A and B are shown apart, each in its own frame.
Chain A
Amino acid sequence: EVQLVESGGGLIQPGGSLRLSCAASGFSVSNNYMSWVRQAPGKGLEWVSGIYSGSSRHNADSVKGRFTISRDNSKNTLYLQMNSLRAEDTAVYYCARLMGLRPDYQYYMDVWGKGTTVTVSS
C-alpha cells in the first residue's frame, strides 16, 4: 500500500528548530517529486517546499532561508528542517507525492500523509 506518515511535530518556542520526517511505503521517495504543504489553523493550503529531480529544491518565499527539504533514500524518508521558527509557522504540515503525466508533466499531489502539527509559541 502506498502510504506517507509524518512525524516530528510539537510545541516549540519562537526562534527554535524542528525537523519533520515523512516515512514513505509502497514507493520510493528517490524516484518521485515530493513536497511539503502546510495549513495554518482555519486557513487554506500553502505549498512550503519541494524536492524534484536530482537535488533540485524550491521553497516558498515565506520560508526561504529558514526551511530545508531533503530526503534519505536509504530510509525512504523525506525531511523538512525548520529553523528560526516563527508564530506564523504554526500549522499542520503534510508531505505529499507529486505525480505528473506526459507530455507536459503538470504535477499534482496524489498521495498525502495525515499531517503533523507544529505549534510555535512561548
Chain B
Amino acid sequence: SYVLTQPPSVSVAPGKTASITCGGNNIGSKSVHWYQQKPGQAPVLIIYSDNHRPSGIPDRFSGSNSGNTATLTVSWVEAGDEADYYCQVWDSSSEHSVVFGGGTKLTVL
C-alpha cells in the first residue's frame, strides 16, 4: 500500500514561514490534500488537490507538489496556526483508498 511520510514536528517563530513536507513515491503524480487539526477538534480541510483552498481558509496557507515531495507552506505564522497537520492522498490502486500521512505537529515558538 502507498505510504506517506511526514516529519513529526516543525517549529517556527510568529511571523515566519513554516514548511511541512509529505513524502511519497512519485507523489507528484497524485493529488495531495491537507488537513489541520487542533486539540479536541475534528480535522479541517485546508488544501485540496495540491494547491486549492476551500472557502474561508486564509491565503497564508498554500501547497505544492512535485516529484516525491508535497509541501504545505504556512506564511506569516500566527499563534493560532499551532496544530497537527496531515497530508492525504487517494490511492485508487489498492483497497486502502484513503491514505494519511503520520501527521506533523506545528509549534509556534
Contact = CB atoms under 8 A, between A and B. Distances in A.
Chains A and B belong together in one complex: yes
Nearest to B52: A101
Interface string B18-61: 00000000000011010101000111110011000010000000
B27 to A, nearest CB: 11
A44 B96 contact: no
The 5 closest A-B pairs by CB, nearest first: A106-B31, A108-B33, A47-B98, A44-B103, A112-B42
Interface residues of B, number: 27
A105 B30 CA distance: 10
Interface of A: 35, 37, 44-47, 50, 52, 58-61, 94, 98-101, 104-110, 112-115
A58 B97 contact: yes
23 contacts: A37-B43, A45-B88, A47-B97, A47-B99, A47-B100, A58-B95, A60-B96, A61-B96, A94-B42, A105-B90, A107-B97, A108-B45, A108-B88, A109-B33, A109-B45, A109-B88, A109-B98, A110-B45, A110-B54, A112-B45, A113-B42, A114-B42, A115-B42
Contact of A50 (B33, B41, B97, B103): B97
A108 B102 CA distance: 16
A30 to B, nearest CB: 19
Contacts of B49: 101, 106, 108
B96 A45 contact: no
Contacts of B97: 47, 50, 52, 58, 107
Contacts of B88: 45, 108-109
Which residue of B33, B90, B98, B103 has the most chain A CB atoms within 10 A of its CB atom?
Answer: B98
